[in-house]
Amino acid sequence: MSDGHGGTARRVVVTGLGPVSSIGTGVTDFLDGLRAGRSGARPMELFDTKGFEYSNGCEVADFDPTRWQREVAVGDVGRATQFALAAARLATADAGLSSADLAGARTLIAVGTTDGEAHELDRIVEHEVGRPVADSPETMARRVPVGTLSAAVAQEFGLSQAETITIATACAAGNYAIGYGLDAIRLGEADIALCGGADAVCRKTFAGFYRLGTIAPEVCQPFDVDRKGILTGEGGGILVLEALDSALARGARIHAEVLGYGLNCDAHHPVAPFQDRIADCVRLALSDAGVKPGEVDLISAHGTGTAANDVTESSAIRDVYGKEMPRTVSMKSMLGHSMGAASALGAIGCALAIEHGFIPPTINHKHTDPECAVDCVPNHSVTADLRVVQNNGLAFGGNNSVVILGRYES
């Protein structure tokens, strides 16, 4: 592949993974959760759910930011930023990179989110309506700006020269961040990229989806004929990307190679996905990766568990792959919909699936919707030899993002 300037683009690999999720934090626990088909669903406790008929979600239970934050004071940042910091600490440790290593490199930090610290906005509103909150509105307001999610990571590692960017394309944002990092490294503009996403559950998001009638009462059942909708979730996922020659030179473990990505925005409808443009986005990603549809072994779908998404997304996949659709799973059946973290956690799951030779299941599955007609690997993970995997992220407003990962082969 050309770098666009007459040179050859560098190959980019994943050398560090940092998952923080409702089914496990850190590579070992997260991998165990994916293999076991663990469910993160439980009654939500982070905000008052009085008045809602049902309120299951996928919170990161017992999350303790003091385990990860060494430089940024816990009270200075909100819950989503705390997830980003924990995920970045986990990913760099997994990659074997110190703060000094990052400071000595041209480091990029790209973090996706929905709208930053929405949980803090919830609490500011609570203060305005007279409910007691622990912090002052001024303190909470300082935590809100979306740029904090990436800037705080730079602060945590003492990186005064790093490029930081927060990308607010919500459910597609993690893949957007990975694509941004991929371009920066393969074009020689960065040496190390910490890419991913983070979001925290909040009443605003839950109530919005509840009003739309898309919250499931108990569990998330993607591609099932009896699905009821999504479960809102939270977490963070950061991947360390670097050039292949850099990884080989320092003897780093390579989880997977980032082969390519595609992005588009159809602006078709505020909330309804658009089949043709999703298919176009998949084609863009495959073209960028230099991969033919027949070479893809697995698709990690956006797979929210709503009829609008599941039918439209599976139809778009069929438009690209025809009758030979790869197995298509939804990790949201386990993780819930972690919004800005969703496609980052999906990408981490894809990298682990490639590295460890298995396919994560779609849990809570009973009867496949004939309008979807996918092999979603129901309820139990299976062993598989995976060379190329596709990770989908689709967001409100028609923001679509697809990342293609592959097994590293010299």
pLDDT at 5: 56
pLDDT band at 3 (very low <50, low <70, confident <90, very high): low
The residue-averaged pLDDT of 126-134 equals 82
Q: pTM above the 0.95 mark? A: yes
* Predicted local confidence at residue 134, as pLDDT: 80
Domains plus CATH for the chain?
12-250 (3.40.47.10), 259-406 (3.40.47.10)
Where does the pLDDT of residue 140 fall: very low under 50, low under 70, confident under 90, or very high at 90 and above?
A: confident
Note the pLDDT tens digit of each residue in 197-216. Answer: 999 999 999 999 999 999 99
Sign of the dihedral defined by the CA atoms of residues 136, 82, 65, 330, in that order: positive
Q: How confident is the model at residue 353 (pLDDT cuts 50, 70, 90)?
A: very high
Q: Which residue has the tokens 């496609």?
A: 343
d(CA 399, CA 272): 11
Structure tokens at 208: 């919005």
List phi, psi (to 5°) of 178: -65, -45
Is the pLDDT assigned to residue 16 strictly greater than 90?
A: yes
User: What is the rounded CA–CA span in Å between residue 286 and residue 279?
Assistant: 11
Q: What confidence tier does 128 reach under pLDDT thresholds 50, 70, 90?
A: confident
List, in order, residues 6 or more apart from 377 with CB less than 8 Å away. 327, 329, 359, 360, 361, 362
Helices (H), 98-221: 99-103, 118-128, 137-143, 148-156, 173-186, 203-211
- Look up residue 170 and give its DSSP letter: G
pLDDT at 75: 94
Q: Produce one character per residue of 327-356: b if its CB has 16 or more CB atoms within 10 Å, e if not.
A: bbbbbbbbbbbbbbbbbbbbbbbbbbbbbe
Q: Percent of the chain, pLDDT > 90?
A: 88
Query: Which tens digit of pLDDT belongs to each residue from 73-112?
Result: 999 999 999 999 999 999 999 999 999 999 999 999 999 9
pLDDT tens sequence across 261-318: 999 998 888 888 899 999 999 999 999 999 999 999 999 999 999 999 999 999 999 9
Under 8 Å between Cβ of 203 and 194: no
Which sign does the torsion angle of CA 313, 318, 320, 326 carry?
positive
What is the pLDDT at residue 94? 98
Beta bridge partners of 383: 358
Model confidence band, residue 137 (pLDDT cutoffs 50, 70, 90)? confident
Taking the mean position of all CA atoms in its chain, how far away is CA 296?
Answer: 20
Q: 87 — phi, psi (to 5°)?
A: -65, -40
Of the two residues 8 and 42, the one the predictor is more confident about is 42
Look over the chain and give the mean of its residue pLDDT values, rounded to a whole number. Answer: 95
* CA 298/CA 315 separation, integer angstroms: 16
Q: Which pLDDT score, from 0 to 100, does residue 2 have?
A: 60
Is 4's pLDDT higher than 70?
A: no
Catalytic residues: 171, 302, 337
